[in-house]
A and B are shown apart, each in its own frame.
Chain A
Amino acid sequence: MENFDLIIVGTGFASSFFLKKYLEKASPGKRVLVLERGILYPHSERLKKARGSTENVFRKTPLPEETFQYSNNADKTWTFDANFGGSSNCWTGCTPRFMPNDFRIKTLYGVGQDWPLTYDDLEPYYCEAEDIMRIGGPDKTPFPKSKPYPLPAQELSTVDKLIQEHYGNLYISQPTARATVPTGARNACCSSAVCSLCPVDSKFTIENSLDTLYKDPRVEIRYGCQVFNMLTANDHITSVIYKQGKREVEVAGEVIVLGANPIFNAHILLASGDHNIHTGRGLCEQRGTFAYLYLKDLDNVGGRSVITANGFMMYDGGHRKEYAGCLIENFNDPFIRNEPGKWRKMVKLKFVLEDLPDERNRVILSDDPLKPRIEYVGHGKYVDKAMDALEENIRKVFSFLPLEGIEMDGFFQKTEGHICSTTRMSNSPQDGVVDKNLVHHQYRNLFVLGSGAFPSIAPANPTLTLSALSLMTADKNF
């Protein structure tokens, strides 16, 4: 049987940031095997498809919903890209940090679960992740920073400027991985507003910025290999088993890293006989809803990219004892207000509410060894209470603007694309699956990366935080 020093499952943010730090520290003789279930589906080929090309050999990659079984709840979907680079291929590139209080939500507000680490523990790795992704952001932020952002902030719109004047650091140009100036292989973002597949390859992706990791002589990458089981002996993972076509292959590794998404990480653990009662449980993500502010005599123009700014006015505070914190995103796609003369006298805001992991929402095994099954009963009352208070809060927060009216969507988006909390970190196995270094409480040669480790999910986008966690865990363990 082949034997490797390190076997990594997946090539998304969590795996790639871990691999980057590992390779910086590992000796030249180390052997790393990376198992990617999908294919390398290049950006250029994705663009051809978006432009209507029918000569596209890459069309047959599975849709997310074809990779798992779903028990219920048509109003909630889970989205990701199961190919090389993972969801870096389809993300929007929003990279606010979590706030320091997000790590202590139980202590401060009596809800959810504290993280076994602090904001300060993660801060140097936030800086490093921001540097790798070449994040553009403002000088002043509501969260403390020890280093400035590597790229300049994106431009605010006319309305953003008014809101920032009113709220200062609580309303900032959104920190973003949509490059604000050309950098590396990436072009500058020019606000095409279709970020899931950027037409000018501006947003950070693994393919355009970290592909060299996979060309390192120590690394061997195999495509089309879906890991579905691991063998264990004496609380140690000895080997992983993957399927490539119809072939089952077993490979041995000294250290194993699960860097698939939280649905598949949990599934692999369950299939391997992990008996931790929390494994697979707590599946959740933020819930987003839109509101439209109609303005009198004020055009909303001049902003950069698809989301110009983040508002933290409803994010942190005593209300989190009762209901979810909320991150505000100001959208800048070319929407209009359908009233002659008022075409752009309008703001389109998204309100992103944190959920609390609920053990009833979970990943379980199915009758198909390659497909997890998701049981999702719904988001918690913590979210619903925030939704109930939202309209009044919006009226309070934006009352200083020249408003003609406010309209609420009144429903949640089907997904925020932020799957979290199926392998939560904790100080003890009674409270979670992995420790603060993302090492499995039982299998001490196994790392379980990604946002599955989040004990609480915060209202902010998870990608930067999970990438920083991967850098930290590789740095502290090798």
Chain B
Amino acid sequence: MKRRTFIGIAAIGTLGLATSGRILLSDFDRLVAKILKEDTASLKIDPKQIDMFMHDANKVRLWDMFSFSKKELIKWSFYLENPFLKLPYSVKYKIYRSQIVGMFLLSTNYFSNKMNNSIPVQYKGIYNPYFTPCSNPFSNLYYA
């Protein structure tokens, strides 16, 4: 093997290991906060509202809704997602990411304000139909 080839392979390997390590060790909560900030950037949201949601989500262990393998899928997909390569399980990733953003927005006044982008979005409490039944904002109760 030529020295140059060896150095190339070693560099790619090192980069791969470093990336893998970064993803494996990354904190799921931080990732969720990043996702929320990215995906709701077009809405009028004070970042403090997201922080308040994240605080309460941790208190009730909300992200236990995702198993270890689902969390890993979300992490790997988030960091490796790019426009040039379709990753495996991309549909699942899209669904899980939508669930994260959905849980946040359902916990705010956004849907009860009929998705009105001019009204500031405010966190109201973790969405839980066992504490607030009948609050599905897309149902006939809200769109008669």
Interface residues, chain A, CB within 8 Å of chain B?
47, 50-52, 154-155, 157-158, 190-194, 197, 199-200, 292, 300-305, 332-338, 340-341, 343-344, 407-410
Q: Please provide the chain B residues from 88 to 144 with a CB less than 8 Å away from any CB of chain A in the complex.
A: 91-92, 94-95, 97-99, 101-102, 105-106, 111, 115, 127, 129-131, 133-144
Scoring A157, A192, A300, A407 by chain B CB atoms within 10 A of each residue's CB, the highest score goes to A192
In whole Å, how far is A164's beta carbon from the nearest beta carbon of chain B? 15
Given A338-B39, A340-B43: A191 touches B139 (CB 8 Å cut-off): yes
> Please, which residue of chain B has its CB at the minimum distance from the CB of A302?
B143
Whether B42 sits at the interface, judged by CB under 8 Å, is yes
> Please, which residue of chain A has its CB at the minimum distance from the CB of B91?
A407
In whole Å, how far is B61's beta carbon from the nearest beta carbon of chain A? 10
Instruction: Choose from B97, B130, B138, B144 the contact partner of A338 (Cβ within 8 Å).
Output: B97
Chain B interface: which size bin? 20 to 34
Instruction: Choose from A199, A200, A303 the contact partner of B138 (Cβ within 8 Å).
Output: A303
Contact B136 A333 (CB under 8 A): yes
Contact A194 B102 (CB under 8 A): no
Interface of B is mostly: loop
Contact A336 B101 (CB under 8 A): yes
User: Which 3 interchain pairs have the tightest Cβ spacing?
Assistant: A190-B134, A191-B139, A302-B143
Contact B129 A192 (CB under 8 A): yes
Distance A341 CA – B127 CA, assembled complex (angstroms): 21
Set of chain A residues within 8 Å of B130, measured between Cβ atoms: 47, 50-51, 194, 197, 199
Interface residues, chain B, CB within 8 Å of chain A?
39-40, 42-43, 60, 91-92, 94-95, 97-99, 101-102, 105-106, 111, 115, 127, 129-131, 133-144
In whole Å, how far is A191's beta carbon from the nearest beta carbon of chain B? 4
Instruction: Choose from A157, A305, A336, A408 the contact partner of B98 (Cβ within 8 Å).
Output: A336
Instruction: Choose from B106, B115, B140, B144 the contact partner of A334 (Cβ within 8 Å).
Output: B106
Contact B133 A334 (CB under 8 A): no
In whole Å, how far is A180's beta carbon from the nearest beta carbon of chain B? 10
Given A407-B94, A409-B91: A303 touches B105 (CB 8 Å cut-off): no
In whole Å, how far is B53's beta carbon from the nearest beta carbon of chain A? 15
Given A199-B129, A338-B39: A190 touches B102 (CB 8 Å cut-off): no
Distance A357 CA – B21 CA, assembled complex (angstroms): 47
Instruction: Choose from A50, A190, A301 the contact partner of B143 (Cβ within 8 Å).
Output: A301
Contact A191 B136 (CB under 8 A): yes
Set of chain B residues within 8 Å of A199, measured between Cβ atoms: 129-130, 133
